[in-house]
A and B are shown apart, each in its own frame.
Chain A
Amino acid sequence: MTRRVLPALFAALLLAALPTAARAQQLVADLTSHLVAITTGFTGASVVLFGAVDGGGDIVVVVRGPEHETVVRRKSRVAGIWLNTRSVAFANVPSYYAVLANKPVEDIVPANLRQLHEIGFDNLKLNPAEKAKPGDVVSFRAALIEEQQRSGLYNKQPGQVNFLGDRLFRASLDFPATVQTGTYLVQVFLVRKGDIVAAQTTPLIISQTGLEADINDFAQNRSLLYGLVAVAMAAMAGWSATFLFRNA
């Protein structure tokens, strides 16, 4: 009896689940590639985000890179020479941050939701890692964002999400050559009448590959051995050079 009941039960469950499944499928999005490999001569990369919405709405995309404690230093002129004089360290600073949308974000998402999901630089949480003067924190926070924008790691203006017809959308995520390795999170929000009705998070991995990556790994993780190997290789090169030029 169980043999006959189970498939029936399964079918019933499937039927019951279908409308919710359809509702959950209001938003589908994916990346053309989930892995960006940094190899020799890496000059940056573009990854295309594409997807479809059911029932209309606007799309907001937030891309965040791996977070690190980050120090912002300010130079001043002392005796004619420019040197670092003041600094503020911020905790958990995303190494990459970009917002993309099909319309100006302010017109789509209300302020409270933008704050909640850290959409836009005003809402990006950047807290000092150590005690710092409140005045400094404000100016150094602005400088941090500006510097990151200058190096292309934070986008200046929100990027463009393009709709192809009513349902399909696509957007290009651009990463500069100086991009950090690690796991990036691509959050896609479907917004309808000032409310986020669906969201999806897709990871993107950026990693170094090839010989350079192996050397870097070696230097970071087995530093002593790396140092000894570096010395040995240099010594070998020097020693073989005397051989080559012995009779010259």
Chain B
Amino acid sequence: MDVYLPIAAVTQDVFVLLALGLCVGFLSGMFGVGGGFLLTPLLIFIGVPQPVAVASSANQLVGASLSGVLTHWRRGNVDFKMGAVLSTGGFVGSAAGVALFTLLRRLGQIDLVISLSYVLLLGTLGTLMMIESVGAIVRARQPNARRRRLHQHTWFHGLPFKVRFRRSKLYISALLPLGLGFGIGVLSAILGIGGGFLIVPAMIYVLGMPTSVVPGTSLFQTVFIAASVTVLQALTNQTVDGVLALIMLVGGVIGVQYGARYGAKLRGEYLRVLLALLILAVGAKLLVDLTVPPDSLFSVVVRE
């Protein structure tokens, strides 16, 4: 059944879109990642224009991460104060990101920047995950391996504006989560990602938050940053395809539930090797697309 996506201005099979949402949702449920970094490139592969893919992914993320944060909230695993500070940084970051996005679009370089950023991001992420999970598999076979120290003091513990985050049992400078939120906001605006895979390690290793509150708090800030990106993209670039976002969301929320259940039955390290391979494959495809000589050297764009 074909559906015409009003903003993307392309016709797509609704079942392809649902399946895509389902698969990405399944993976994100299985691995506990947001999935935006897979959703956007996949949308680009099926022919959705880059700017629309990015902005609509952000829109989809609002629903997907809200669904997740509610579950964590019921279990009391959200640090709202930390989430609020991260989101504040995220608002500023998303405004800066959307402004940059608009400028790049005007210069005709937005498609390139999106693709290149994804190649860098997925390449780095995939490689790191691969190293980490292979390392974990190796370590699992050597039970006497040395453990990582839990808490280390570094330069950023000397930063001013210290704030107490009770839920996270932390007393750190507010500049840290603000800056972190800002960075995620910029990335979210340009790439349509929630940034969970960046912020989760940052929360654990940089901020030193207890792991129990990390996923809930990360999802909490994603809701607000993704909402802010969606509104700003709709306002300045008119690239948010609400129909596309809703279809992906339907597939996504169902996929997450089954992914989470299935993931619980499998060995984590082997699963992460698979995800790392998938991420590397998507990145490689984007890179190859950039280097293949185009059908035509020229492109025509109507300026609004």
Contact = CB atoms under 8 A, between A and B. Distances in A.
A229 B7 CA distance: 15
A227 B67 contact: no
Interface string A202-244: 0000000001110110011001101111110111111101101
A233 B249 CA distance: 10
B4 A41 contact: yes
Interface residues of B, number: 54
Contacts of A69: 302-303
Interface residues of A, number: 60
Interface string A165-179: 000000000000100
B111 to A, nearest CB: 8
B230 A227 contact: yes
A221 B139 CA distance: 58
A134 interface: no
A84 interface: yes
Nearest to B238: A219
Interface in A139-157: 140, 143-144, 146-148, 150-151
A39 B11 CA distance: 11
Nearest to B257: A245
Contacts of A144: 298, 300
Contact of B300 (A72, A77, A83, A233): A72
A75 to B, nearest CB: 5
Contacts of B109: 83-84
A84 B108 contact: yes
A108 B54 CA distance: 52
Majority DSSP secondary structure for residues of B touching A: helix
Nearest to A91: B303
B3 interface: yes
B3 to A, nearest CB: 7
Interface string A64-75: 000011111111
Contact of B234 (A39, A227, A235): A227
A196 B81 CA distance: 78
A102 interface: no
A230 B59 contact: yes
Q: Which 4 A-B pairs have the closest CB atoms?
A: A227-B234, A238-B63, A234-B63, A241-B253
13 contacts: A68-B302, A75-B298, A93-B302, A143-B298, A216-B6, A219-B238, A226-B240, A227-B231, A234-B63, A234-B246, A239-B67, A241-B254, A242-B71
Interface of A: 39-42, 68-77, 80-84, 87, 89, 93, 95, 140, 143-144, 146-148, 150-151, 177, 180, 211-213, 215-216, 219-220, 223-224, 226-231, 233-239, 241-242, 244-245, 248
Interface of B: 2-4, 6-7, 11, 59-67, 70-71, 108-109, 112, 116, 223, 227, 230-236, 238, 240, 242-243, 245-246, 249-250, 253-254, 257, 290-294, 296-303
